[in-house]
Structure 1
Amino acid sequence: MTTTKVAIVGASGESGQSIVNALLDSSTPKYEVTALTRPQSIHKPVNTKLQERGVKVVPADLGGPSDKLVELLTGIDVVISAIYFDNLDEEIPLANAAKAAGVKRFVQSALMIVIPPKGKEDNLHYFQKIRLPYTYIDTRWWYQLTLPRLPSGRIDHLLSPTHKDLPIGFDGSVPTALADLRDVGRFVARVIADPRTLNKRVHVYSELYTQNKVYEVVEGLSGEKLPRGYVSEKEASTNIDNARARLQRIRRKLAQSSHLLLLSCSNLGDLYPDFEYVTFEDYVKEVLDGKVKGVYQG
């Protein structure tokens, strides 16, 4: 059995860890994983743990000499970028090196919940321009960032430190595509081994839920009544107008977010009807039973 060599940037992040877990767990195909990390981070505990699991961790300066990057990527079959969306410009030198090294597939950073189109779309156009083989994997909002706070506080320890009790948008009936973060890595491991997804966009999610339905499921399984606050379209528009001057840079990035659903060409469920994903209800049960950990816990 041949082994596919994968290099990943951002292996220590939430998406990156999910991907690494899935690649290491895969038996068909078999993956050999290399994590490219900033030179100053090479000795961090998270990288030590990766090495203990059989991941080759190497220092890589994406802003350094291109020949060094080409050397690191020579012999690599797939490059996966799990770079934080604020640093998407770092994908350009990475892509150039991947092209020069003969990498067979480049997966750009579109793996983190919802990312504004500006930036990632520019990068995709660049990859196409230089004829770099790519797969654009667009994942959706994670279960791990979907749960509302319970009045009892029993799941507070699992919520992100930046978690806010935001109001429900409009009437709460707009469906949102959701996925368990643990499944994101499994999605990626499946997609990068599929020749059908080369030079394609793939939209991956597990289930569609409205905010009202999320609240109903959490209430039903927890036995707690959740307070609900709604924000009207007028209030939302006012909030955006008030924030525009102070958050000009963010506003530009978010201006096209309503078009996000137009980015996909293939749906994971259509490609792999046998894929067994974690359902939202099962995830909530795991949370209430204390069987899962939170994200962005530091």
Structure 2
Amino acid sequence: MDMKSRVLIVGGTGYIGKRVVKAIIALGHPTYVLFRPQVVSDIDKVQMLLSFKQLGAKLVEASLDDHERLVDVVKQVDVVISAVSGGVVRHQILEQLKLVEAIKEAGNIKRFLPSEFGMDPDVVEHALEPGNITFIDKKKVRRAIEAANIPYTYVSANMFAGFFAGSLAQLQDDVRMMPARDKVLIYGDGNVKGVYVDEDDVGIYIVKSIDDPRTLNKTMYIRPPKNILSQKEVVEIWERLSRLNLEKIYISEDELLNMEDKSYVEKMKRCHLYHFFIRGDLYNFEIGPNATEATKLYPEIKYTTMDSYMKRYV
């Protein structure tokens, strides 16, 4: 029986990182969780790290700024997964360039998965400012990985259900992470298709890919067929489950583009709403020859449909 790859995860206490840690452990891989020195003052993250340890993970303290220590840590494993924040509040994507240098020097890593997990930066054209910084930085990391000849898999997980289904995509102004019970903003005509994925499923698909030759040096898209839905279809699921009839307020493309933003963060969110729900950049392209689709690779995984996911809010 083949030995399971030893996996190091960076960013394991983050929103998607904690799901990846649990998936690594659940699928039987020796698990190493890197934590930065400053984390020890955050009680919630310390408790999370200790829970990982109780499940069998090895905790490894290292700073991305300490190159020698980082190389030593990387030499202990076979696969590195990064889940550092790429969000609008804590954008740490370029920090991964330090990780790329450590992996390059170590020379033993058979697969690196950088922090991606959203829209594929290489297929987005004419991205709006300042939202385009996410795509620009992710492409810089990709090109650095390729220039260093590091074996990789890029994972495009599209929209995390907790953010975009649970909120019905009401992510501007007063953020609401529970489905509305009275009225909802609909972007454009509401019929543009997107892809919604349960965060725990994302973790499983990511870990399934790390030893799979079919995903080597490719982009893996996670596109569960039943979760390819328009914003209106997600709202309809919620209305059916909750037995509510929401007032729909339609926001045209021009209105969305010309909204007055109260902050830089709101402007970033609006850019992403435009790409997801007006342009349809999650699903307006065919998967190319240097890419693959997770649910076809791993049909044994019973992914969570949005109909099932939304029941938790009723």
Q: Which category of TM-score, normalised to the shorter sequence, fits these structures? A: 0.7 to 0.9
Partner Cα separation in structure 1 for residue 166 and residue 11 of structure 2: 28
Is 1:178–2:178 an aligned residue pair? no
Alignment of 1:181-220 (within 5 A): 181-206=199-224, 207-220=227-240
CA shift digits 1:10-61 (9 cap, x unpaired)? 11111111111111111xxx30110111112147222122212211111111
Whether contact under 8 Å (2:17, 2:83) holds in the other structure is: yes
Normalised TM-score (structure 2): 0.77
Name the counterpart of 1:90: 95
Whether contact under 8 Å (2:194, 2:282) holds in the other structure is: no
Is 1:47–2:67 an aligned residue pair? no
Runs of 4 or more, structure 1, over 3 Å off, are 112-116, 147-150, 242-251, 253-264
Whether contact under 8 Å (2:158, 2:282) holds in the other structure is: no
CA shift digits 1:182-222 (9 cap, x unpaired)? 10111111111211111111111322111111111111111
Which runs of 5 or more structure 1 residues have no equivalent in the other structure?
151-157, 289-298
**Taking structure 1 as reference, are residues 49 and 246 closer, same or farther at Cα in structure 2, changes over 3 Å only?**
closer
Name the counterpart of 2:246: 226
Classify the secondary structure of the residue corresponding to 2:247. Answer: coil
Partner Cα separation in structure 1 for residue 37 and residue 234 of structure 2: 42
2:64 to 55, 62, 65: 62
Partner Cα separation in structure 1 for residue 146 and residue 262 of structure 2: 33
CA shift digits 1:242-288 (9 cap, x unpaired)? 4599679959x969955555696211133223331011111112332
Letter in 2 for 1:105: R
Letter in 2 for 1:120: K
Partner Cα separation in structure 1 for residue 302 and residue 177 of structure 2: 25
Whether contact under 8 Å (2:166, 2:310) holds in the other structure is: no
- Identify which range, 222-231 or 79-88, moves more after superposition: 222-231
Letter in 1 for 2:247: P
Compute the RMSD of aligned alpha carbons.
2.9
Name the counterpart of 2:171: none
CA shift digits 1:112-136 (9 cap, x unpaired)? 5788311111110110011111110
Size of the alignment, in residue pairs?
Answer: 270
Classify the secondary structure of the residue corresponding to 1:89. Answer: helix
Which runs of 5 or more structure 2 residues have no equivalent in the other structure?
122-133, 169-175
Is 1:136–2:162 an aligned residue pair? no
Partner Cα separation in structure 2 for residue 263 and residue 109 of structure 1: 22
Partner Cα separation in structure 1 for residue 15 and residue 264 of structure 2: 29
Whether contact under 8 Å (1:148, 1:215) holds in the other structure is: no
Whether contact under 8 Å (2:184, 2:248) holds in the other structure is: no
Normalised TM-score (structure 1): 0.81
Partner Cα separation in structure 1 for residue 204 and residue 307 of structure 2: 19
C-alpha displacement of 1:147: 3.8
Name the counterpart of 1:77: 78
Partner Cα separation in structure 1 for residue 95 and residue 164 of structure 2: 29
Whether contact under 8 Å (1:38, 1:59) holds in the other structure is: yes
Name the counterpart of 2:29: 31
**Taking structure 1 as reference, are residues 263 and 100 closer, same or farther at Cα in structure 2, changes over 3 Å only?**
farther
Letter in 2 for 1:121: K
Name the counterpart of 2:23: 22
- Identify which range, 41-50 or 198-207, moves more after superposition: 41-50
Name the counterpart of 1:8: 9
CA shift digits 1:92-151 (9 cap, x unpaired)? 11111112221111000012578831111111011001111111011111221234669x
**Taking structure 1 as reference, are residues 199 and 169 closer, same or farther at Cα in structure 2, changes over 3 Å only?**
same
Partner Cα separation in structure 2 for residue 247 and residue 41 of structure 1: 24
Whether contact under 8 Å (2:165, 2:306) holds in the other structure is: no
Name the counterpart of 1:292: none
Partner Cα separation in structure 1 for residue 24 and residue 243 of structure 2: 38
Whether contact under 8 Å (2:119, 2:282) holds in the other structure is: no
Partner Cα separation in structure 1 for residue 34 and residue 166 of structure 2: 35
Letter in 2 for 1:35: V
